[in-house]
Amino acid sequence: MNSPFVRGLSGAACLSLLQIPAATAAPAARENIEVRAYVDDTCIVADEPYFLPVTGNTPDQSTAKFLPLIGLVVGKLAELLINHEIQSSAERLKSGAARKDTRYAMIRRMNLYRVDFEPAPALSINAKLGCMTVVAAGFKPEPADCRSQYQPKELSRETRDLPQDKWTTSRTDDSIENQLRRANVCVDGQAKAVYEARFEFSKDATAFRLKDAGYHIESLLTTAEKGAARTTIYTLKISNPAATDQQEVLSSAWVSIGTVSAGSHSSGAKTDAAPWLRVPPLSIEARRSYDDKTKIHQEVTGEIEALTRAQMRSRRMLAGLDQRIAAADAATADGLKQERTRIAVQVETLGAELDARNAEYHDLPRTPLEFMPVTIEVAVTETESEKKAQLALADILGKNSDMVGSAVGTAASGLISKSVSAADIKTESDAADSAGELQSARARYYDALIEAQTGASGKTSAESQRDLAAMKNHYNEVRRSQGLEPLK
């Protein structure tokens, strides 16, 4: 059994046993590649900060004090918390929906809007939509935690006194896989591709666009052919969940990175070519639910805001009276002083009412609430030509290819909304939109309510009640026009 022949035969058998799984594992490895998308307020890779550990000696403390904090973490390594993960689930797609040139990552449902109650009820897009990171790789089995293996991007001593664009890191592992560990994205082996795009929102949060923030492609997802190139696009589709297969698409965004091949890398697009498009508005059903669940909060904050405005008006009146008293003769000044005393008392009364309302709001429940369930799907598509990319984009987004033919393959980011008419491209704030009209009517109603309760403007009780009735009727008309229940 220990003869050279037997040892050689045993060695050959072992080699064969090792080679057989290796030969059959290649297709399985490709099948095990998943696409996962992660959403947070910053990009995992593009926004990875430099790290400067602070020791007890004075030089390091002094250096840390004067280094810019943008792109730098000093003294303590902060964890990156992923607010939302879009898990791979191509198997959930209906029969015939999955394309052979496309890899999907989809979440069945999430709520698009969220209301926070500090300092007042504020409705906003759910989660911290700052950047989307799409990772195509094999992943370690759950539950996995690889954050302890992350090597921070430690700033080298040789470059810490140089301008920020000259900084380098002293860490030994600068791989994409290591950078992903910071967000506990645990890749098994080497990541095939990573794409990142930033969400940009208008100041009033009614419009958005998506901008390429960079990509790292180690190998293509749809072919292992050496030297192959593919026109690559990735898409984000937001749909209204439905009981049927035909879900209503609320908004669709896409980023084209142009023609790439294995080994392609980019730090992101330099232009802002993407148009502003409307954020899917709160649905009527979600608006009614929001109005019902936050009714008391809105009533109290409406009175708080109206009391604050009334107090500011009274203080401006006091300042005006002080100027008039200083310039008036003695007889006129006496009358003005009496009026000033009345308004000064009114200011104190309004302040006391304001304190009471603030205390009332403080005692209300303030756990954040979420509204408007949607389905989100992310897809990465690789095609052999720009023409096929046009057709693929039209198919994925459910659009006519003529709508996007001029834009696909330009290596710039772009967006397509549910409708691409001029009315859907948002370039500036619309002052007459329904939300603005509702807020304006609400403010006027609560101003009239506080006036009727406090008599801050000096009107008679009859006049105040008449104004209140008129403002309430107008507010209710606006509420009805938007599908909301009127005030009683």
Q: How many Å apart are CA 133 and CA 110, to the nearest integer?
A: 18
pTM assigned to the model: 0.68
Beta strands in 97-228 (DSSP E): 102-116, 122-125, 131-137, 153-154, 193-201, 207-217
Cα 232 off chain centre by:
24
Compute how many other C-beta atoms are within 10 angstroms of the C-beta atom of residue 255.
27
pLDDT band per the 50, 70, 90 thresholds, residue 330: confident
Which pLDDT does position 358 carry in this prediction?
94
The answer on pLDDT for 388 being more than 90 is no
Range with the poorest average pLDDT among 139-143, 383-387, 430-434: 430-434
Q: Tally the C-alpha atoms within 13 A of residue 351's C-alpha that lie toward its C-beta.
A: 9
User: Rounded to 5 degrees, what angle do the CA atoms 146, 150, 155 make?
Assistant: 170
Chain segment 91-120, per-residue pLDDT in tens: 444 434 566 777 777 655 778 889 999 888
User: Is the peptide bond preceding residue 275 cis, with omega within 30 degrees of 0?
Assistant: no
Strands 50-52 and 72-74: parallel
Q: What does the pLDDT look like over 265-302, one tens digit per residue?
A: 998 877 766 667 778 888 888 889 999 999 999 999 99
Phi, psi (rounded to 5 degrees) for 241: -55, 140
Is the Cβ–Cβ distance between 206 and 427 less than 8 Å? no
Give the whole-angstrom CA distance, residue 377 versus residue 224: 26
Mean pLDDT score of the chain:
76
Residue 34 near residue 139, CB atoms below 8 Å:
yes
Using left for φ > 0, alpha for ψ between -120 and 50, and beta otherwise, residue 187 falls in beta
Apex 108 CA angle, 424 and 419, nearest 5: 15
3-state secondary structure of 412: coil
Radius of gyration of the chain (CA): 31
Please report, for the chain, the start and end positions of each structural domain, with discontinuous segments joined by +: 30-288+370-424, 431-488
